[in-house]
Structure 1
Amino acid sequence: MLADNISVKDARKLVLVSQGLHKTNAFGSGAQGILKTLQQLSYIQIDTISVVERAHHHSWWNRVNNYSADLLAKLIEEKHVFEYWSHAAAYLPMADYRYSLHRKQAIAGGETHWHGKDDKLTQQILQRIRTEGPLQAKDFEREGGAKATGWWDWKPAKKALEQLFMEGELMAVKRQGFQKVYDLTENVIPAGIDTTTPTEEEFYRYLIQRCLQANGLATASEIAYLRKGIKSKIQTQCLTMLENGELRLLTCQDLQYYALPQAQELLNKKIKRSQVKILSPFDNLLIQRKRMQRLFGFDYQIECYVPEAKRQYGYFSLPLLWGGEFAGRMDAKIERKTGLLLIQHLHIETPKVAAFIEDLLPTLREFLLFNQGRNILLKRLSAPYASSDQSVKAGRQVIENLII
């Protein structure tokens, strides 16, 4: 079947519109905006790093006006959102619960063990939760803080809780201090939610449709990302859907992508060119690094896992999306006691330094408020493609004026 050619510019546009990053408030505001974003993207990744606001809050903040952690907590409490595993720890729409069952059943069946099983410990944990209600890992700590080799030792209990969580016996009803609070799944799933296990075909169709809905276009490898042994089955299902008119084929840079039929409609939407988005390293847009390099020419690596001496941009550099292109990255840290947002390195990758900084400023102010900060301190600014050192100095002065 012949594929329609698509330019790199249009491919980027299709991706950004699908991701809701083409304008402000693409999915609405408040609680409804949070839910609509999650339904569109299918998941939002959770991460433990907190040098600035955590990844899940950061990803929603970029897409939803009036976003707050309290609104998300309420949606979890009201059982519209649940926590499980996508390609990593994530929040997912409760309406999609049944599509988490394949992984849960594989782990419970022994195909993939998360932490291994201790049957005695498992039964004791389940009995305590049945009797006492939702519990955290710390509720299983040994009194007095002494080390122990028995089942009540914290580490074995935590592993058992996570094993039960991954198998689907337990769910997280909320987080306290970023620690999960576990309850029996039967107490968490709301009435009316489909809990039947999807057929293999249903599951693959779900993965394909959700990936293309969220990303605009994708290869079979990208759809199967980090799911072992399913690439060929995804490819077969894509071909079937293509023949049925449920998908279309697009060619960009000599590579073929699948897309949904409504892709052309999305290309009619406009990207706000003066808008800068400060993205989380774990934003849905950025998860597949090779894809970002191929489509956007943006070579990105999070350097918190790189030895300090080998870091080029900084410990936690945040990608800066300017209209339809990446224009730099910003290594930032919020000092919560003082309210100081420390920009340790602002690296600008466009020669249009002055114009970029002008568009960055309003977003930077909002980012400061989002992180509950009061002041900004810029330590280093680099712009290797700037036409002159004078433009870099002028850019620094503009930011320092913002600081004052």
Structure 2
Amino acid sequence: MLTIEELQSITLERQGLRYDAPFGEGKAAVGQALEQLGYLQIDTLSVVERAHHHTLWTRIPDYKTDYLDELVQERQIFEYWFHAASYLPMRDYRFAQAQMLEVRDNDSHYYKADSTVMQYIIDTIRAEGPKRVRDFENQAKKKGSWWDWKPTKIALERLFLQGDLMVSGREGMQKTYDLPERVLPATLDLTVPSPMEFANYLVKTYLNAYGWTTVKQIMHLKTGEGVRKDVKEVLSVMLEGRMVESIHIKCYPPVFVRCDLMEVKAERNIPEVRLLSPFDNAIIHRDRLKQFFDFDYRMECYAPKEKRQYGYFCLPILFGNTFVGRVDCKAHRKQQQFEIIHLHVENQSVDLDLWAKPFAERIKQFVLFNGCTSLKLSQVSPSNRTSALRKLLEGLF
């Protein structure tokens, strides 16, 4: 029977958070990381470096932000929807087609685009090549309708979601669209998966990325009893075939563990600190994080300022197997100053003196990754550690 600590170790190992450079170096490491993690969530918030870059930097010390765009252009990865906007390995494109077909067949989808505009976009891109939203005429919509998006942008999003267009590149967060036949590798399997094949893909993706999973995690932001039934059937077949083992821990949901990982032993004394993006794959399932790591984390950037407990954009601080606190940060890029708005030291079972220096080393690396050359510490809780931490952190530059 595995302990909670051993389950933690398995997940952190599979997530690439136990050791430095677990996927190797350079652009090749990005492909390796994405194939193991299964997806990489894209987010537009830029308080610190955007989530997709931050998540990869956490696992690839020499990561450069150009790598993702280059891999898209090399047709090794593509953009679509996992549980959110994501980069995915090109090998998995066929499994995205199930959702594409669902959008195409759904007249009630929230992207309700004008069919004439959609056809105009397809014809224009076919004749003239890849296009961005701004390349089309700005056709105003009625005031207050769909955030005043122009019809072409709504049509572009609908065509993208139903698979008639693909993102062929980016300039920052500005997407360029093209026809799939110009983007997809000629040898790619485009067979639409059956429901059971899709369920099998979901189960294996989570088991590969985390080492173990629960039905709830697999179904995260996915709807339909049909999918849930198929997922349970896949797990049942894997149990019979000794590919996974089901373990039951009091007060926890049933856990399905890969049999080849059942002998993993917990290593709690690895003195590494990780600063995780709020959208990092390791913590995106908040219920799992609370249940199995005893860390209650919620993003507060969408909450009114007066209702925030920790800050606008707090990064969880992971030390070994333990979340020891969180840090609210902001990169002031014009001034090249990185500000720690509020450092929250939380887990009192782990002595701060054990992780303060590794934390300082990681912060220094993160400051440089964010294009900053100086560091400012504004607040620490509890306040009695402010002086020592200020001396340690502000002495880094």
The two structures have a TM-score, normalised by structure 2, of 0.93
Q: Which residue number corresponds to residue 394 of structure 2?
A: 400
Q: Percent identity?
A: 39
- Structure 1: which 5+ residue stretches go unaligned? none
Q: Which residue of 2 aligns with 1:203?
A: 198
User: Larger deviation: 166-175 or 242-251?
Assistant: 242-251
Q: Is the 2:6–2:265 Cα contact (8 Å) retained in structure 1?
A: no
Structure 1 residues 379-402: Cα deviation after superposition (integer angstroms, max 9, x where no partner): 001138xxxx3x443223222322
Match of 2:27 in 1: 31
- CA drift of 1:233 comes to 2.4
- The one-letter code matched in structure 2 to 1:208 is V
Does 2:255 match 1:260? Answer: no
> Residue in 2 aligned with 1:287?
284
The correspondence for 2:218, drawn from 194, 210, 223, is 223
Pair 1:324-2:318 in alignment = no
| AA matched with 2:372 | G
Aligned partners of 1:125, 1:310: CA distance in 2, in Å? 43
Residues 111 and 156 of structure 1, relative CA distance in 2, 3 Å threshold: closer
In structure 2, how many angstroms separate the alpha carbons of the residues matched to 1:165 and 1:341?
37
Distance (Å, rounded) in 2 between the aligned partners of 1:112 and 1:288 = 28
Equivalent residues of 2:326, 2:344 under 8 A apart? yes
SS at 2:17 equivalent: coil
Structure 1 CA distance, aligned partners of 2:269 and 2:197? Answer: 37
Letter paired with 1:159: I
2:212 alignment partner, SS class = coil
Residue aligning to 2:10: 14
Task: Give me the whole-angstrom Cα distance separating, in 2, the residues matched to 1:321 and 1:168.
Answer: 38
Q: Which residue of the partner structure matches residue 358 of structure 1? A: 357
Q: How many residues align?
A: 388
Q: Which runs of 5+ in 2 are unaligned?
A: 143-147
- How far does the alpha carbon of each residue in 1:94-134 deviate from its partner, in whole angstroms, 9 at most, with x for none? 01110101100011111762401311111001011011100
Tell me how far apart the structure 2 counterparts of residues 10 and 99 of structure 1 sit (CA, whole Å): 32
How far has the Cα of 1:240 moved from its partner?
1.9
Task: State the Cα distance separating 1:271 from its structure 2 match.
Answer: 6.2
- The answer to whether the Cα contact below 8 Å between 2:9 and 2:265 also exists between their aligned partners in 1 is no
- State the Cα deviation string for residues 295-321 of structure 1 (Å, max 9, x = none): 000000111011101111110000110
Q: Shift of residue 246 of structure 1?
A: 2.3
**Residue 180 of structure 2 aligns with which residue?**
185
CA deviation after TM superposition for structure 1 residue 272, in Å: 6.3
Question: Is it true that 1:100 corresponds to 2:99 in the alignment?
Answer: no
Displacement of 1:232? 2.7
Deviations 1:205-236 (A, max 9, x none): 11001111111211112111111012232112
Q: Which residue of 1 aligns with 2:145?
A: none
Q: Distance between the aligned counterparts of 2:102 and 2:140, measured in 1?
A: 33
CA contact (8 A) 1:345 1:381 kept: yes
Mapped contact 1:134–1:181 kept (Cα < 8 A): yes
Classify the secondary structure of the residue corresponding to 2:259: coil
Look up the match of 1:175: 170
In 2, Cα distance between the equivalents of 1:312 and 1:40? 34
Q: Cα deviations across residues 20-72 of structure 1 (Å, max 9, x unaligned)?
A: 11111111111111001000011000001001000000000011131111122
**Are the equivalent residues in 2 in contact too, given 1:84–1:92 (CA < 8 A)?**
yes
